[in-house]
Amino acid sequence: MRKRFNSYKFQKWTRNATAVCAQFIIPLTIFQAVRTIFFPTTFDVLLLTLLVILAAAIYLEWV
């Protein structure tokens, strides 16, 4: 059985770091997507994939 996480059990600095990341993740992802369209390298594609997964995790509250 999977345990549910209570976000209030985390320390305050981790909740603050998540809030700061949530503000910056979408603009960074859009910038990386534009960069990947113009200069597609393997690193750019992997970084874009990582940013999309991280954005989904933050906004769906997996983290």
Render each residue's pLDDT in the chain as its tens digit; 63 residues: 566 666 567 678 887 888 888 899 999 999 999 999 999 999 999 999 999 999 999 888 876
Residue 21: predicted pLDDT: 82
DSSP label at residue 5: P
**H helices present in 1-63, as ranges:** 12-38, 42-59
d(CA 21, CA 18): 5
d(CA 31, CA 26): 9
d(CA 15, CA 6): 11
Residue 1: predicted pLDDT: 56
Residue 8: predicted pLDDT: 64
Q: Residues in the chain, how many?
A: 63
